[in-house]
Every structure is written in structure tokens, then in C-alpha cells.
Amino acid sequence: MNGVNSVATSVMVGVGSRYETSSINGVSHFLEHMVFKGTKKYPTTDDVNIIERAGGLQNAYTDIDITNYHNKVLSTDWELALDINKELATKPLLEQKHIDKERDVILEEMKRYEDEPSAKVGEAFHSMMYPKTSLGRRIIGEVESLKAADANTLRAYHDQWYTPGKMVVVLAGDLRGNTTNTTNNTNTTNRILEKTEKWFGSLGNPGEVSTLEKIKENQTKPQLSVVTKPDAQQAHITIGIRTFARNSDDRFAWNLFNLIMGVSFTSRLFKEVREKRGLCYHIRSGADAWQDVGYWSIYAGVATDKVTQTTQAILAELEKVKDTGVTEDELKVARKRLKTMLAFKSEDPEFLNEYYGRQELYGDPVLTLTDYIKKIETVTKEDINRLARKYLVTKTLNMAVVWNRTRQEKLEKLLKV
């Protein structure tokens, strides 16, 4: 990348909560925590934190189908940054004394999520969409499975999944060696390749080819999930529909549809539900997708006595767009917004690291940002309207509510478009 003085490095591992069984639910996230307690080369937490002492940013996250160890440093420190991520992913110590202490930390993290209704409603919605499946399990796990996990559990899981065939090494940023000299540029690239092959090429067997439990979409009527929190001061609602898998060509038009419907001040939902009706402070929409299934959802935090009114307003907007579609002006604005957002994000090495790394990790055909924008440019108003009619259907409507009341039948009766 030109015009930057930093490098983002990642070691992405294609494993997450979807790869767990119920008895070890949460182990992916537990393992991600534990690697920061020490590795073979960096045996203490202070040693692992060397990136921060060098002025860099260091973190990791666990998701449904990915665990990512990532950092961002000055370009002169790329080798140290990659070395740390290599150690975290491949050489954790996983000592029992640290596991016992960190388990309590994660249990406190779990309590924090329980106290955050906006996070809880998303979790409730997701679990309702994929009940009794590995996809529907909580990323953080359950109290019982966390208490049962020990060093042997974590080590066995690491040995099974942290294999070369599940890893992608990514670097993005200033990889020229702080010079515009072409020779030095080539030399730096060669050094990166040499280091990567040396460190990761010696890991041995590429590992097993994983077979995930396939989700069967068979919903035939709307669903409602209610979580009662007696101390909740507000109702948090998520309304959503089933859509498509991660690689679907529908995603290009749908990204524009999502902007039109529920992203920021110019969106239909913001203007109607917040500005015109004053029903909420925060409302947004977003999409989630995996290799086999996906959904689109709308979140809002509203006064408890306005849940019915808000639900009706949201569904009315879905009915409207399904019946009359979007306008050429809305498409034009959404396309410009999306291209601008990508332009802003592409100035950050961490974004490009994530953008390209995930495509490679998932085995997707790699689209450059230029390729992606070309796809966006071809989307027509008719494309978006066709998808609205296709996916906005009553039988796959779902709603989750976290509030201080119990389940109410009248909410279920509202769920239709």
C-alpha cells in the first residue's frame, strides 16, 4: 500500500464455535484467550505484549468460523509482528494454572454480555435461527462446558484444528522496506516469503479436511423468541429474515439494499422509525452469512410500551419496499456511499488484511476491491427489487425481544409482510 507507514499482520485460522461439540462449546474462544498467557518463545504475558511496547496494536477475536490473531505496527517492525502472531497460533504453552484463572475471566465476560441487552437480543435471535445445531451455539460457550475445559481439552483442540491447511498468513501495508527502490521492494517481499515459509512450512501435516454440519432451511412460519430481564429499562428487538450463503451473487445487490434500508441517517428505517415517528434512538440493519446459509436483520432499542408500534412500523417499511421497490435516486446514493465507504476503509492496512485474508481462508474466488466495485456498478434497481420480493416473505420472518415482560401472543400475530 502506498502512502502508509504501517503493516498489519494476521494469522487467520479457519475454526470457531461452529467446529465445536456441545461438551466443549466455547473452547475456540477459550483457546484464543489462553495463547496470550505465553508461548514457547514468549513465555509470559509481558513477553507476549512486546507489540504494545513497540507502539503497535495487538488483539485477536473468535467468531463462528474463524479465529484471527492480528496486529498493526510500523512497517519497520513487520518481522516482530509476524513472529508474535506465528507464536500465538502455533506454540501456546496452555498451562493449567493460567487456564484456571482465565476461566474466571471468561465467566465474567459472559456475565457482561448477559447485562448488555443489545448483545443478548442478537444472541437470542441467532440461536432461534439455528437451534440445536453447531452454527447456533454461543461463541463464548456455556458455563458447564467452560468449567469442564482443562489443559488437555485446549491442547487436543489446538492439535486438531490449528494445522497448516486451516491457516492463512496475511500482511498488508508498507511492504517496501521504507523505500521506493524497486530492488529493495523485491527483497522485502522475498524476505517475507522466506520467513513465512520457514516459520509455517515446518508445521508438518496440513491436517484433516473438515466436514461441517449442513444447515437445512425448513422454516414454514414466523418465529418469536423472548428473553425476560426484570431490570431492563428498554426493550431491544431484532427482526430478520433468512437470505443466502456467503458466496451468493445476490450479495452485491443486497449490500446496496441494506444501505438503503437500514444504515445511517439516509436509510428508510432511520427516517421513518426514528425521525418521523420518534420511536427509538438507535436502529440499524445488517447481514450475516456463512458457507451454507445467511440472514438479514434489523435491530432497534425502544421504550417497552412502544414495541408493538415499532414492530408495526418496521414491518410496514418492509412491506413498502417489497411492493413498490427502491428508486433510481436511492440506488445512486447507495452506490456512491458504498464506494466511498470502501475508499475510506481501504486506506487502513487492517481492513485490507481482513478483506483479502477472509476470502483466502474461506476458499472464495478472490475479488479485488476494483473487482468488487465493478460488481456494484452493474446492480440495477430491478435487481434489488427482485431480491426484496424473493426474500421478504412472511414464513421466514423472525423476531427476538429482550425486555422486562414475558412472551406476548400479539407480537407473533404482527409478523407478516
Q: How far is CA 35 from CA 20, 91, 145, in A?
A: 18, 8, 19
Helix (H, G, I), strand (E, B) or coil at 370: helix
Better-scored residue on pLDDT, 114 or 180 = 114
Q: How confident is the model at residue 179 (pLDDT cuts 50, 70, 90)?
A: very low
What pLDDT is stored for residue 205 in this prediction?
Answer: 75
For the cut 80, the answer to whether the pLDDT of residue 204 exceeds it is: no
H-helix or E-strand containing 238? strand 235-242
Question: Are 279 and 405 contained in the same domain?
Answer: yes
Q: How confident is the model at residue 186 (pLDDT cuts 50, 70, 90)?
A: low
Give the C-alpha separation, 8 to 70, whole Å. 7
> Quick check: is 208 in a domain?
no
**What percentage of the chain has pLDDT greater than the value 70?**
97
Question: Are 237 and 356 contained in the same domain?
Answer: yes
Domain boundary at 174, 203, 232, which?
203
State the CATH number of the domain containing residue 45.
Answer: 3.30.830.10
Question: Are 164 and 229 contained in the same domain?
Answer: no
Question: Are 88 and 138 contained in the same domain?
Answer: yes
Question: Are 10 and 138 contained in the same domain?
Answer: yes
Helix (H, G, I), strand (E, B) or coil at 170: strand
Q: Which three cell numbers stand for residue 298?
A: 434489523
For the cut 90, the answer to whether the pLDDT of residue 285 exceeds it is: yes
What pLDDT is stored for residue 177 in this prediction?
Answer: 59
> Quick check: is 218 in a domain?
no
> Quick check: is 209 in a domain?
no
Nearest Cα neighbor of 385 from 328, 335, 339 is 328
Please compute the mean of the pLDDT values over residues 97-114 and round it to a whole number: 96
For the cut 70, the answer to whether the pLDDT of residue 262 exceeds it is: yes
Question: Are 287 and 356 contained in the same domain?
Answer: yes
CA torsion, ordered 328, 334, 338, 344, to nearest 10 deg: 120
State how beta strands 6-13 and 223-228 pair.
unpaired
- Residue-wise pLDDT for 5-55, tens only, equals 999 999 999 999 999 999 999 999 999 999 999 999 999 999 999 999 999
Question: Are 185 and 276 contained in the same domain?
Answer: no
Please compute the mean of the pLDDT values over residues 243-248 and round it to a whole number: 97
Domain boundary at 169, 203, 237, which?
203
Please compute the mean of the pLDDT values over residues 198-213 and round it to a whole number: 80
What pLDDT is stored for residue 203 in this prediction?
Answer: 85
Q: In total, how many domains does the chain have?
A: 2
Question: Are 243 and 354 contained in the same domain?
Answer: yes
- Burial (CB count within 10 angstroms: exposed 0-12, middle 13-18, buried 19+), residue 391: buried
What pLDDT is stored for residue 167 in this prediction?
Answer: 95
> Quick check: is 44 in a domain?
yes
Residues 6+ apart with CB under 8 A from 165: 206, 207, 208, 209
What pLDDT is stored for residue 91 in this prediction?
Answer: 96
> Quick check: is 212 in a domain?
no
> Quick check: is 1 in a domain?
no
Is the separation of the CB atoms in 140 and 110 below 8 Å? yes
Q: How confident is the model at residue 184 (pLDDT cuts 50, 70, 90)?
A: low
Q: How far is CA 55 from CA 11, 137, 278, in A?
A: 20, 37, 44
Write the DSSP assignment of 51-109 as a string of letters. Answer: HHHTT-EEEEEE-SS-EEEEEEEEGGGHHHHHHHHHHHHH-B---HHHHHHHHHHHHHH
What pLDDT is stored for residue 409 in this prediction?
Answer: 85
User: Residue 114: which domain range?
Assistant: 6-203
Write the DSSP assignment of 396-409 as a string of letters. Answer: GEEEEEEESS---H
Please compute the mean of the pLDDT values over residues 69-89 and round it to a whole number: 96
> Quick check: is 214 in a domain?
no
Nearest Cα neighbor of 128 from 225, 237, 22, 215 is 225
Question: Are 273 and 409 contained in the same domain?
Answer: yes
Question: Are 104 and 181 contained in the same domain?
Answer: yes
Give the C-alpha separation, 247 to 362, whole Å. 10
What pLDDT is stored for residue 78 in this prediction?
Answer: 95
What pLDDT is stored for residue 381 in this prediction?
Answer: 98
Least confident of 157-161, 185-189, 294-298, 401-405: 185-189
Give the C-alpha separation, 85 to 13, whole Å. 11
Question: Are 111 and 81 contained in the same domain?
Answer: yes
What pLDDT is stored for residue 180 in this prediction?
Answer: 46
Least confident of 88-97, 126-135, 145-154, 173-182: 173-182
What pLDDT is stored for residue 189 in this prediction?
Answer: 82
> Quick check: is 210 in a domain?
no
Is the separation of the CB atoms in 257 and 387 below 8 Å? yes
Question: Are 164 and 83 contained in the same domain?
Answer: yes
